[in-house]
Structure 1
Amino acid sequence: MIRVYREALLSGDDRIVSEIESRINIIEKEKNELEKKVLELSAEITTGKEKFIRLQADFDNFRKRSEKERLTTRFDAQGEVIESLLPMVDSFERAKEQLKPETEKETKIDTSYQGIYKQFVEIMRSLRVAVVPTVGKPFDPSLHEAIAREESQEYKEGIIIQEFRRGFLLGDRLIRPAMVKVSSGPGNKKASMAS
């Protein structure tokens, strides 16, 4: 087409020159429209990619939130079940302290009873249930409930000297605080000597 255009220009054929220029203008318009469409499609693709990336991020956040909520719900339910079983632990421990088997039959019953308790403790341990440390440890209001204070020559002020009821943790979460007696320190030695 360029060769024909050149020949028409050289020969002075205005009709062919005009026709070719008209075609070139049409092609130029089509090219401009195509470039415009390409730019529009590129913008749509970029917008679509951005939307996809945002949607993917939203979905990832939703998935993480759902997993966290699922674990929290499970952990809360597990904590409630374990908390409801703690009075049974207390009963086992009271019975252990009070039972003093004297006959062979009583010893067998006590052994059976202690076997059940040991199995129960192992199940609790496998669920990550732990006893709150008490005697000899510093009082911590987030783990312990002080129900008494008493002077002590053996323990410094703020140290737990007696446990009345065991406290329990589920992982790092407190299920039940330990009920304890806390040392108020050695007290007034002159008052002790006067007594």
Structure 2
Amino acid sequence: MSEKDRIEEMEEMEDALEQEDPQEEKLRDQSGEDETEGADQHSREEELQAELEKEKDKFLRLFAEFENFKRRTSKERMDLFKTAGQEVMVSLLPVLDDFERALKELGRSSEKELFKGVELIHHKFKDTLKAKGLEEIEAKEGDAFDAEIHDAITQIPAPNKKLKGKIIDVVEKGYRLGDKIIRHPKVVVGN
């Protein structure tokens, strides 16, 4: 069908519509328009409302995800700052152990001035490490053994019943950097 034929057909349809009763046509048009207009507007409103709810939900989820991300990265950064020097601290622990052994030996000798000098250096070294977050884990004879904190290197028969399941001797001190244990105290446990 050509363009010209379509135009002629449309004109014929318009003529046929004009010949109908104008009053009847008006009533039909008004009632039909009102119903379709109201239904169209109502359904369009519902569509927009549903779309708005969907977008709100997306936004809230995205916002919550972002807040969780911020919180998680902030916590990770804080943990990183707290334990940033862990490798250095772990490598300095044997030096600290050697200092303590040297102090024990110098305490037995008659050279009190040398002992005081080494003791002063030892305290300064410990204070510097403490300022960087290093803490000694307290473990002494008679404390209850805790597998989460202590590292039992051996078990020996307890000298008395009170020391059964308790620490009998501390072989090597333990340390924590911030909240993280970087070396567990090595202990002997009574059984």
The answer to whether TM tops 0.5 is yes
Structure 1 residue 68: Cα displacement:
3.3
Distance 1:36 1:112, change over 3 A: same
| Aligned twin of 2:7 | none
Name 1:9's counterpart in structure 2.
Answer: none
TM-superposed CA distance for 1:91, in Å, is 1.3
1:150 Cα offset (Å) = 5.3
Partners of 1:53 and 1:183 lie apart in 2 by 58
Partner of 1:37: 44
Q: For structure 2, which runs of at least 5 residues remain unmatched after alignment?
A: 1-20
The offset of 1:155, in angstroms, is 5.8
CA deviation profile, 1:15-70 (whole Å, cap 9, x unmatched): 45743653453354333322222111111001001111111122222223323333
Q: Which residue of 1 aligns with 2:186?
A: 179
Does the 8 A contact of 2:167 with 2:190 survive in 1? yes
Given the alignment of the two structures, is residue 25 of structure 1 paired with residue 32 of structure 2, yes or no?
yes
In the alignment, the residues of structure 1 paired with residue 144 and residue 32 of structure 2 have an alpha-carbon distance, to the nearest angstrom, of 92
Query: In the alignment, what sits opposite 1:114?
Result: 119
CA RMSD of aligned residues (A): 3.1
User: 3-state DSSP class of the match of 1:99?
Assistant: helix
Count of matched residue pairs: 168
Confirm or deny that 1:137 pairs with 2:135: no
Asked if residue 160 in structure 1 is aligned to residue 181 in structure 2, the reply is: no
2:59 to 48, 52, 63: 52
Give % identity: 29
Instruction: Give the 3 Å change call, closer, same or farther, for CA 96–29 of structure 1 in structure 2.
Output: same
Secondary structure, counterpart of 1:32 in structure 2? helix
The aligned counterpart of 1:95 is 102
Letter matched to residue 70 of structure 1: R
Paired residue for 2:176? Answer: 169
Q: 1:24 to 1:158 in 2, by over 3 A?
A: closer
Paired position in structure 2 for 1:61:
68
Q: Tell which deviates more after alignment, 170-179 or 150-159.
A: 150-159
CA contact (8 A) 2:142 2:166 kept: yes
Structure 1: tracts of 5 or more residues without a match:
1-13, 185-195
